[in-house]
Chains A and B, each alone.
Chain A
Amino acid sequence: MALILNEDQQLLKQMAGDFVKNESPTSRIRQIRESGDEVGFSRELWGRMAELGWQGILIPEQYGGLGMGYAEMACVLEECGRKLVPEPLLSAVLLGGNAVLLGGNEAQKSELLPKVADGSLLMTLAYQEKGSRYSTSQVKTAATSAAGGYAISGEKVLVIDGHVADKLVVSARTAGVVDDPDGVSVFMVDREAAGVEIVQQTTMHLRNSAIVRLHDVEVGRDALLGAEGAGVALLDDVIDRATVGLAAEMLGGSLEAFEMTLEYLKTRKQFGVLIGTFQALKHRAAEMFVELELGRSAVAGAAQALDSGADDARALVSVAKARVSDLAVLVGYEAIQMHGGIGMTDEHDIGFYLKRARGSELTFGDSAFHRARFATIQGY
């Protein structure tokens, strides 16, 4: 078991925290929103993250990565989550990179993973469809046999960083009917391929996202990741890993929002005293602290389960996502309430945290979804 950070991990986290604080204050996300910047992040900063090795943390050394684990990835993502850093780590590494790492054959891995690790290739996962909610088997997008490969048609939504991804990992049905767990296959599609249409989406929580429409897009057999028809298991494995990354990010966002609120309780005066002297607020702050500690444990537990390949990893992923979903929303709500009127203004940063909290809650399954999944895994 390793639920607490060792010295190397502490150092990594410290450095990530400093980097984020200096290079990516929360004001960045506001500027990006205001300027209508279509890229939505900084390629220059992305390059510097690559120099630090962040894109390669999860990639094995033989493919040019650092061969570290989720404990380390979580250190970095927690710090990024604090400032809502928009660079595409979640999509490029945890979704796209993992799809290749877990589903790819040797040729695919050795061609693509080094480029993921050095940041030169942006990938993402396009699995969600309108109305499919959190299911990986609710797939209407279809891939039919065509000369030398497949032709794919369908529409994917809320594709994280889909507007910039060079390669899209797309789920499509090669057999069966919608919701059939068998018959889903996973393909890599180049953004430049004929018939790919990408439309940027504007999300409430400022997560760069896109609609991906595929009109008879032809791909070769070598575009298939994993076995034909066995895609749901691969998608679930990939999303589990991304979920732990997202959970770490959410923990960071919750900590930041909590600390901003704590600071406000220690500076804002009413009735001639600091509002932090009011016990009604003190107890709620203490309860948030309790939840934050439990959330930290849940993320650490899931990360360590993935790193050690534990049998109960999937259950612990659900524990973590359920916990931090409720945590982040609780902190988001309380933060607004305890800031009073100023918390409702667009001008104040605290609102970003509530929006991001709910946006992340509704990504990869909310707490109710994960409780149900947990119960199923546990056999009840």
Chain B
Amino acid sequence: MSDLESFREQTRAWLEENCPQSMRWAPRKRGNPALADDLVWGGKKQTYPNADAKVWLERMAAKGWTAPTWPREYGGGGLDKAQAKILSQEMSAVRAKPPLIGFGLTMIGPLLVANGSEEQKLRFLPEICRGEIRWCQGYSEPGSGSDLASLQTRAVVDGDDYVLNGQKVWTSYADQSDWMFCLIRTDPDVPKHQGITFILLDMQSPGVSVQAIKLISGASPFCETFLDDVRVPRDQVVGAVNDGWTMAKALLGHERTMISDAFSESSERNQLVELARTYIGEDGDGKISDQVVRDKIAQLTMNKVCFDLTVGRTKEAAKIGQQPGPESSIFKYYATELNKDRHSMMVSVLGPQALGWEGEGFEQDELDVTRSWLRSRGNSIEGGTSEVQLNIIAKRVLGLPE
């Protein structure tokens, strides 16, 4: 038996034995990890949905499998790509839920692995792997969204510290997080991209205050974050001072892959069909009885097939060591537009049963459809708006003049 085959066998056996039943997706239902609420995000404020969730996290973290490819000395699993793929396949096979999710594992962690100082890696990565600290992203400001590089929050050197003043906004989960990675202006006298530094900030620091913002979906996943004379030790800068934009770009790569991955992995492909059968009905041949709805569902499903095939092209190229081609520039844009269309269609299919907000007369699943639809409208705003994505394609890929 090859090493990989025996790794697969051992992994399968270990998962079967160690993944608690309640930490497995119910048959036919597989959530979208980026959007699910009952998963573990970690951090000091984490309350576990149930005791199994904690056990599952601890067992996986002990093996280093919350961050399978990170080096072992930083709490990761030290797996190579092939092994990591096997782990992920075997987790799907037993329908295991991810033990831990969040910005630590998917955004700041990878950046630190690549660009952090040795001291920063040893300090933060193990805690991220064990789910002990939760992170938020402090980029956007009231005056700086798409034009992020115009950000105004200032850092001034004072002894061994920086002193920070300003305001961040749309900081997802700032009220749940222990740390924030943020972009701060350290030099206001140079062109805007060149005076920004990437800084790690302890949310417990004096002078940090957070105010939740309620979304159209009724949830409050993001906040305004105010920074008032907040002192941050200078060794919490990632990369070089005034080189924060380079760091941000590297990290944005991780963020966009995460967003498009999240949508391409979810296998709710036939959920629309199931909803249509329930809410609209079928004819004697098992066809959805409303021709227009049937046509639209076919269109959306085909769109998804084409998107998956496109992601497949990039993956195949990666497998033989090629860089992603120009097709990868469409992922963030198309995945989010597609997701919005699907959610919008689900509301159409539910019809009047999509009118509930809470309380009687509506099933929980129906309320979820409505709330998820509202939340989905943000997909094409967060992480770079669709318009900005099209600007990037026009400029970088098509070479259209400024």
Taking the complex as formed, is B34 at the interface, i.e. its CB lies under 8 A from any CB of chain A? no
Instruction: Determine if A274 is an interface residue (Cβ-Cβ < 8 Å).
Output: yes
> Does B191 interact with chain A (Cβ within 8 Å)?
no
**Option from A293, A316, A318 in Cβ contact (under 8 Å) with B327:** A293
Contact A297 B310 (CB under 8 A): yes
Closest chain-B Cβ to A352's Cβ sits at a distance in Å of 23
Q: How far is the CA of A245 from the CA of B197 in the complex (A)?
A: 53
Stretch of A144-152, A177-185, A280-288 contacting B (4+ beta carbons < 8 Å): A280-288
For A282, the chain B residues whose CB sits under 8 A away are 390-391, 394, 398, 400
Residues of B within 8 A of A323 (CB): 302, 306
Which listed residue, A277, A296, A380, touches B401 by the CB 8 Å rule? Answer: A277
Nearest chain B CB to A107 CB, angstrom units: 40
Contact mask for chain B residues 257-293; partner A; CB cutoff 8 A; 1 contact, 0 none: 0000000000000000100110000100011100000
B-binding segment of A48-56, A201-209, A366-374? A366-374
A273 to chain B, nearest CB (A): 8
**Could you list 11 examples of A-B contacts with CB < 8 Å?**
A4-B317, A265-B400, A266-B400, A283-B391, A296-B327, A297-B306, A319-B305, A372-B295, A375-B294, A375-B295, A376-B287
Closest residue of chain A to B296 (Cβ to Cβ) is A371
**1/0 contact trace for A293-304 toward B, CB 8 Å?**
111111011000
A290 at the binding interface (Cβ < 8 Å): yes
Q: Quick one: which of A347-380 are within 8 Å of B by CB?
A: 368, 371-372, 374-376, 378-380
Say yes or no: is A262 at the interface (Cβ < 8 Å to chain B).
yes
Residues of chain B within 8 A (CB-CB) of A41 are none
Q: How far is the CA of A378 from the CA of B270 in the complex (A)?
A: 10
CA distance A297 to B305 in the complex (A): 9
| A310 touches B (CB below 8 Å) | no
Q: By the criterion of a CB under 8 Å from any partner CB, how many residues of chain A are at the interface?
A: 41
Given the interface pairs A3-B312, A266-B400, A297-B313, the reply to whether A289 lies near B302 with Cβ below 8 Å is no
CB distance from B76 to the nearest CB of A (A): 29
Q: If the complex has contacts A274-B401, A283-B387, are A375 and B298 also in contact, measured as CB distance less than 8 A? A: yes
- With A and B bound together, what is the CA distance between A282 and B400 in angstroms? 7
Q: Which B positions have Cβ atoms within 8 angstroms of A?
A: 273, 276-277, 282, 286-288, 294-295, 297-299, 301-303, 305-307, 309-310, 312-313, 316-317, 326-327, 330, 333-334, 387, 389-391, 393-394, 397-402
Asked whether, in the complex, the Cβ of A262 is within 8 Å of the Cβ of B312, the reply is no
- Which of B312, B387, B398, B400 interacts with A277 by CB under 8 Å? B400
Q: Which residues of A contact B301 (CB under 8 A)?
A: 374, 378
Cα(A380)–Cα(B283), bound, Å: 10
A1-46, CB < 8 A from B = 1-4
Contacts of A277 in B (CB 8 A): 400-402
Whether A1 and B401, one on each chain, are in contact in the complex, defined by CB atoms closer than 8 angstroms, is no
For A285, A286, A319, which residue has the most chain B Cβ atoms within 10 angstroms? A286
Residues on B with C-beta less than 8 A from A318 are 302
Q: Is the pair A380, B288 in contact by a Cβ cutoff of 8 Å?
A: yes
- Complex Cα–Cα for A376 and B393 (A): 36
**CB-CB contacts below 8 Å: A308-330 with B:** 316, 318-319, 322-323
Q: Contacting A283 at CB < 8 Å: which of B287, B390, B399?
A: B390
CB distance from A240 to the nearest CB of B (A): 16
Residues of A within 8 A of B389 (CB): 286
Q: Which of A287, A289, A293 has the most B CB atoms < 10 Å from its CB?
A: A293
Query: Which residues of A lie under 8 Å from residue B303 when comparing CB positions?
Result: 294
Cβ of B313: which chain A residues have Cβ within 8 Å of it?
3-4, 296-297, 300
Given A1-B316, A371-B299: A380 and B400 interface contact (C-beta under 8 Å): no
Residues of A within 8 A of B394 (CB): 282-283, 285-286
> Cα distance A371–B306 when bound, in Å?
13
CB of A276 closer than 8 Å to a CB of B: yes
Bound-complex Cα distance A61 to B152 (A): 69
Give CA–CA (A371, B295) in the complex, Å: 6
